Chain A
Amino acid sequence: MIEVQDLTKSYGAVKAVDDVSFTVNKGEILGFLGPNGAGKTTTMRILTGYMPATSGTARVAGFDVFRDSMQVRRHIGYLPENPPVYPDMTVEAYLDFVARIKNVPAERRAVRIDDALRKTNLEDRRSELIKRLSRGYKQRVGIAQALVHDPDVIILDEPTVGLDPKQIIEVRNLIKGLAGNHTIILSTHILPEVSMTCDRVVIINKGKIAAVDTPQNLTSQLKGGQKIRIEVEAPERRLREVLAQIPGASRVEVEPGRTGERLEVTVEAAQGQDIRSDIAAKIVQNGWPLFELRGVSLSLEDIFLELTMDDATHAQPSS
Chain B
Amino acid sequence: MHGLYAIYRKEMGHYFVSPIAYIFIGLFLILTAFFFNVILAGVIKQSFQMEMQSMQFGQPSSFDVPAAVLRDFFGLLSTLILFFTPILTMSVYAEERKRGTMELLMTSPVSELEIVLGKFLASLSLFAIMLLPTASYLIFMVLRSEPMLPWRMLLAGYAGALLLGGSLLALGSFVSSLTENQLIAAVITFAASLFIWVLDIARSSDTGAGAVLQYLSVIRHYEDFTRGVIDTSSLIYYFSFIALFIFLTVRSVDSMRWRRA
Contacts and interface: CB of A to CB of B under 8 A. Distances in A.
B101 A84 contact: yes
Contacts of A145: 104
Contact of B10 (A11, A73, A83, A97): A97
Contacts of B99: 84-87
Contacts, number: 78
A86 B260 contact: no
A88 B104 CA distance: 16
Contacts of B107: 48-50, 73, 76, 78, 80
B232 to A, nearest CB: 37
A102 B109 contact: yes
A81 B18 CA distance: 27
A52 B18 contact: no
Contacts of A87: 99
Interface in B60-118: 99-111
Interface residues of A, number: 30
A84 B101 CA distance: 4
B10 A50 contact: no
A272 B103 CA distance: 48
B103 A80 contact: yes
Contact of A70 (B9, B103, B111, B261): B111
A84 B100 contact: yes
A55 interface: no
A82 B261 CA distance: 14
B251 to A, nearest CB: 15
Given A88-B14, A88-B17, A88-B18, A50 B109 contact: no
A103 B99 CA distance: 23
A101 B108 CA distance: 6
B103 to A, nearest CB: 5
Contacts of A73: 107-109
Interface of A is mostly: loop
Nearest to B118: A101
A51 B261 contact: yes
B136 to A, nearest CB: 30
Interface of B is mostly: helix
B110 to A, nearest CB: 5
A294 interface: no
A97 B109 contact: no
A307 to B, nearest CB: 28
Interface residues of B, number: 28
B101 A101 contact: no
A48 B5 CA distance: 23
Nearest to A100: B6
A70 B100 CA distance: 20
A80 B97 CA distance: 13
Contacts of A78: 103-104, 107
Interface string B135-178: 00000000000000000000000000000000000000000000
Given A84-B104, A100-B2, A51 B257 contact: yes
B16 to A, nearest CB: 10
Contact of A84 (B5, B6, B103, B110): B103
A112 to B, nearest CB: 14
A122 interface: no
Contact of A82 (B13, B100, B110): B100
B7 A101 contact: yes
A2 interface: no
Contacts of A45: 103
A101 B101 CA distance: 13
Given A78-B107, A101-B108, A102-B109, A51 B260 contact: yes
Interface of B: 2-3, 5-7, 9-10, 13-14, 17-18, 99-111, 257-258, 260-261
13 contacts: A11-B260, A78-B104, A80-B100, A80-B104, A81-B100, A84-B101, A84-B103, A85-B101, A98-B104, A100-B3, A100-B5, A100-B9, A145-B104
Instruction: Give me the 9 closest cross-chain CB pairs, A-B, nearest first.
Output: A100-B6, A84-B104, A48-B107, A82-B100, A84-B101, A101-B108, A73-B109, A80-B103, A74-B109
